[in-house]
Structure 1
Amino acid sequence: MPSTASATYSFTGAATGVRPAAGHGAATYGWTAAAVGASPKTGTASGRYNWTGLRIVGDDGVYLPPDNRWRVIVQETRSGEIIARDVIVKNLVVQRALSAGCDIAFDVDFHDPSVAGIYFKPWQQYIHLEKVMLGKRRIWCTGIVQPSDVDPNSGVLHLKAKGFAAYPKGLPWLEDLNWVANDAYEPVVEIWRHLQEDFPNGNLNVEVYPKTSGVEMLPGYGFDGDLLNLNFFATFVRAVDKLDCGDYIDALARDIPFDYLEQSEWNIDRTDIVKKIQLGYPRLGLIQETLAFVLNENVLAAKPHTETETDWISDIGVTGWFPGFEYSSTLANADPNRLRRYLDEATANIDSNERAAAWAHRRLARRQTPAYWEQITIDPNHPNAPMGTFDVGDTIIVSGFMPWVGHIRQYHKIIAIQFDVGKNTCQLQLMAEGAFNYDQIYYPDGSSNIITNHAFDNNLSGWTATGPGWAWDGSQGHDALGSVTITADGTNHDLLTQPYGLSDFQIFPMKVSVKCSGAVSSGDSLSVVAQFYDDALVPTQAVLVGAINPSGTVPWRKLGGGSVLTPVGSTHVALRLHVDSAMTAGQVWFDDAELTL
């Protein structure tokens, strides 16, 4: 006979998180049902189910969205009002870069309800991109809407936005400043203060930090009895010149050097997004020793850097201008297996010989780099290096096989990170760590030395001999082992540094240490000479700075040390070591050459 039954069931359970960074909330479930059937084995039931669940909470206590897609947030630049927190877009491409503003591009349809009431205008809205990374909602970058195109048929807006770090570009520096000395960061801090406080519609509420680097910029020339001071200011700005603020910051970052980086984050109650620019001397970023970027593992594709026609440069000359002055520097780094190639570069942003020398050094270094990958496509979810564990400015190790080179394991600096959401790709723009030269700029105070390899520590690199006989000696040295030596034979011998740029009528000191053994000489046969050149590096004059007449054994002593005045028509100088034909026998050692410019 058919029978009926009623029953009550209740269940309580706690959900288990997949990982601490994205845990699931606890939940309680319960229901009541009355069963009706023809027999205890078969029947039908009616039931009621009720449940409640907690939203996922990230590591920082902030609720996480139910999915892990990019979210586009729109905020008014002047009022600060957030007018949309999740605009639906297509073809999103975003690039975050080192020492530059980010780039954002996407397509948005005006029919979409998420943009109802929004009229995008250049410089009127911020575009913030948010994504969950490592269990936290992170503002990846912030851009300002730029002039964009509208499709004439569909009305779809191809929106472009540029990072707020690029805001100073195109704006004039309308101040008169003549700082005798200042911190390296002070011009950057002052530019942002000037743009945000001196103009009513220029405040982006961007914070620049830190305010100081601990490095002092000094005048281009100092006076201590040896140097003639022709430029009394470390920073000289005139409103009438209308210097481009963005160009000035970039030139300063290049020459000091320092990095800068955009940073954006929610405020505590998520009603505004805080914007900052971080400065780092001489660089920003971490050296990531624990992350791995390996071809055929998390590196899906890699573009090797190959030497193009412009890559090989043995000599580079840089020229810059300051009101009333011209500054220049020439740097050489010859490869014995290649022919000489020269590159000339001019820039109006260089206002001292020291900055010209620093820029020449960097430009040459970037053309003589090891084999590396300039672009890699990665899996951002791979455990080797999950997204969020690295950023632009970081140094990473990339390893794998490179055609024509072999297996490479090379340190690379991340220059930019680009996501193409439509194509589901993540690309890193890289440069070999050696392509970045973080040598600090020289502001000579009367004691600094511009000569490369002045102490002959390991070789004769940076020096040019006019004939045979010169050799490196690691067993002899003035302050430390390492010197250059030659045996006198009654003929003339010369060894020269590269030519360095000069200002008109510049006064500078020059000296070297010398030692002799078994010397036979009939006059002042050992000398240090200031060899001058014109703009074409044609020799103009040679000025004797110091000389001795050696006899027998001569212990280490200083040769030269006096000041030299740059003659009219000369723009470059090299230090020349000279062994004259008047010395017919004996061995000579030179060490610790000094040329202060």
Structure 2
Amino acid sequence: MTWTYHAMRATTRQWLHRELPLSDVRLSPALSGPYSLKARIEPEYGDLIGDDGELVLSEWGTLVFAEASGQIRGGGIVTDTKIVGQELDLTIDGFTAYPADMPITSTLTWGGKTEGTTGAGVDPFDVVRAMWDHLQAQPDGDLGVTYTQNSTPYRLGAWHNARRLDEDGELDDDPKAVQDPPIPIDKVWDSKKGKKPTAAQGKDVYWRYRLPWWDAIDVSQKINELAKQVPFDWREHYAWADSSKEDVVMELHLGYPRLGKRQSNLTFVEGENVTGLVPINRDGSDYYNTVYGFGSGEGSKQLRQSVSHRDGRLRRVKVEGRPEVSNKAALRAIAQDELLRTLHLADITQFVVVDHPNASIGSFDVGDDVLVENRRGWQPTRLWVRITGFDYQPETGEITVKCSRSDRFRYGGA
């Protein structure tokens, strides 16, 4: 398989180079994380140095794309360079690295006293797309990223003007008393069974979800928080815009309840299409069957959520401190994710295959579930794992698959 690498100016989308002389390339797609590409250029190339002596490949100014068999396989933004003599090492991060440390500078609001009188909150995917729209609307911020237009049944927001509830969750004796803070929605909303709370006397109940600029919200952190809370997956997608190969589509794929599929016709077997031995990890130091999540607040008012599973072993408790989380649903999701991660001992976290017909590049992707068989050693194992990423070296054809057992993931709030 022949690989070609292209460089484009990020702000103007003008081509800088159509055959970058990259070597020691390592391509790493990821599930719910940015693509990674690391490479080297050696020796010096005159057409990669500008008239002013500066590098043509500038940090946060250049896009690089990897092409094989006529298809764009991945790419991203040049974020770091290192020069040692005639060696130029490049770090290229996928376009979803762009929102990291980027704040929302204008308040984003859904619902309110007028629009919030219908419906029951905002779809998290609409929030993600709006935050990306906000970033790309700024000067020199338009990467040309597009997004899938699918949806989720989960709803974000809070009910305002609801009648106050007492400690038992019953309506307060004072019909004019308003619940403060507002009642959160933050769940999968059933339009047939879901009901608005009772309005305080003289008030109209409405929902609102707001991301205020004064909270200095980091867009990347907020997307990751929502992805855990709902939960949902996301990944980057790259493709030629058309047959002329003059432009590239960069699309954010959002998936609820998940991305990827169960690859029932593809098995990775040690000694067949897996090179070397498949490590089976059984790390008891990281085993817990109860997780307490502690969120914002202090003392007895601190937000707390716990999840547990009785499995015949001694009780092992892990405390997960997340003082930045002020939402019960988000905190419980974090605790649940941590329990799934630490509950099962046997796990396969990576294995190595070589690009060939039985496991060719393109036959599996991040997010997919695949069956891995370890037939030798102390504990022959057949385990379904979910691919969370992989490192691919085009020069050798070797693929290091990164994964974790499939039952450590939850979908759609399950």
Tell me, what secondary structure is at the counterpart of 2:136?
helix
Q: Which residue of structure 2 aligns with residue 231 of structure 1?
A: 182
Q: CA deviation at 1:339?
A: 2.5
The answer on 1:275 being equivalent to 2:250 is: yes
**RMSD (CA atoms):** 2.6
Between 1:187-196 and 1:304-313, the stretch displaced more is 304-313
* Deviation readout 1:344-393 (Å, 9 max, x if unpaired): 11224533222222221121011122633211100211x32322111111
1:211–1:288 CA distance, 2 compared to 1 (3 A)? closer
Q: CA deviation at 1:224?
A: 9.5
Q: Which residue of structure 2 aligns with residue 416 of structure 1?
A: 389
Q: Which residue of structure 2 aligns with residue 167 of structure 1?
A: 98
Q: CA deviation at 1:147?
A: 2.1
Match of 2:136 among 196, 215, 221: 196
- Partner letter of residue 305 of structure 2? S
Compute the TM-score of the two structures, normalised by the length of structure 2.
Answer: 0.81
Tell me, what secondary structure is at the counterpart of 1:384?
helix
Rounded Cα–Cα distance in structure 2 between residues aligned with 1:73 and 1:223: 60
Q: Which residue of structure 2 aligns with residue 240 of structure 1?
A: 214
The answer on 1:434 being equivalent to 2:403 is: no
- Partner letter of residue 412 of structure 1? V
Tell me, what secondary structure is at the counterpart of 2:276?
strand
The correspondence of residues 565-576 of structure 1 with structure 2, limited to 5 A, is none
Q: CA deviation at 1:79?
A: 0.9
Between 1:101-110 and 1:89-98, the stretch displaced more is 101-110
Q: Is contact 2:228–2:330 with CA below 8 Å preserved after alignment? A: no
Q: Which runs of 4+ in 1 moved over 6 A?
A: 220-225
Provide the identity percentage: 24
Rounded Cα–Cα distance in structure 2 between residues aligned with 1:310 and 1:178: 44
* Deviation readout 1:468-519 (Å, 9 max, x if unpaired): xxxxxxxxxxxxxxxxxxxxxxxxxxxxxxxxxxxxxxxxxxxxxxxxxxxx
1:244–1:322 CA distance, 2 compared to 1 (3 A)? farther
* Deviation readout 1:216-269 (Å, 9 max, x if unpaired): 234389879746663356634221121111111011101110000100111112
Q: Which residue of structure 1 aligns with residue 308 of structure 2?
A: 332
Q: CA deviation at 1:436?
A: 0.9
1:387–1:396 CA distance, 2 compared to 1 (3 A)? same
Q: Is contact 1:220–1:352 with CA below 8 Å preserved after alignment? A: no
Q: Which residue of structure 1 aligns with residue 281 of structure 2?
A: 306
Q: Which residue of structure 2 aligns with residue 482 of structure 1?
A: none
Q: Which residue of structure 1 aligns with residue 66 of structure 2?
A: 129
- Partner letter of residue 357 of structure 1? R
Tell me, what secondary structure is at the counterpart of 2:286?
coil
Q: CA deviation at 1:313?
A: 0.7
Tell me, what secondary structure is at the counterpart of 1:173?
coil
The answer on 1:293 being equivalent to 2:293 is: no
The correspondence of residues 482-561 of structure 1 with structure 2, limited to 5 A, is none
Tell me, what secondary structure is at the counterpart of 1:387?
coil
Match of 1:385 among 342, 351, 359: 359
Number of equivalent positions? 364
Structure 2: any 5+ residue segments left out of the alignment?
112-120, 171-178, 186-208
Q: Is contact 2:240–2:248 with CA below 8 Å preserved after alignment? A: yes
Q: Which residue of structure 2 aligns with residue 186 of structure 1?
A: 126
1:431–1:295 CA distance, 2 compared to 1 (3 A)? same
Q: Which residue of structure 1 aligns with residue 349 of structure 2?
A: 374
Q: CA deviation at 1:174?
A: 2.0
Compute the TM-score of the two structures, normalised by the length of structure 1.
Answer: 0.57
Q: Is contact 1:179–1:233 with CA below 8 Å preserved after alignment? A: no
Q: Which residue of structure 1 aligns with residue 238 of structure 2?
A: 264
Q: Which residue of structure 2 aligns with residue 252 of structure 1?
A: 226
- Partner letter of residue 315 of structure 1? T
Return the structure number with greater relative CO, CA threshold 8 A, min gap 6: 2
1:211–1:290 CA distance, 2 compared to 1 (3 A)? closer
Q: Is contact 1:92–1:105 with CA below 8 Å preserved after alignment? A: yes
Rounded Cα–Cα distance in structure 1 between residues aligned with 2:163 and 2:62: 52
Structure 1: any 5+ residue segments left out of the alignment?
1-67, 442-597
Rounded Cα–Cα distance in structure 2 between residues aligned with 1:223 and 1:92: 61
Match of 2:333 among 358, 379, 390: 358
Rounded Cα–Cα distance in structure 1 between residues aligned with 2:155 and 2:306: 25
Match of 1:207 among 146, 154, 157: 146
Q: Which residue of structure 2 aligns with residue 92 of structure 1?
A: 25
1:195–1:110 CA distance, 2 compared to 1 (3 A)? farther
Match of 1:102 among 13, 22, 35: 35
Q: CA deviation at 1:295?
A: 1.0
Q: Which residue of structure 2 aligns with residue 320 of structure 1?
A: 295
Q: CA deviation at 1:270?
A: 1.2
Q: Which residue of structure 1 aligns with residue 198 of structure 2?
A: none
Q: CA deviation at 1:400?
A: 2.4
Q: CA deviation at 1:85?
A: 1.4
- Partner letter of residue 418 of structure 1? D
1:233–1:361 CA distance, 2 compared to 1 (3 A)? closer
Between 1:163-172 and 1:232-241, the stretch displaced more is 232-241
More strand per residue: 1 or 2?
Answer: 1
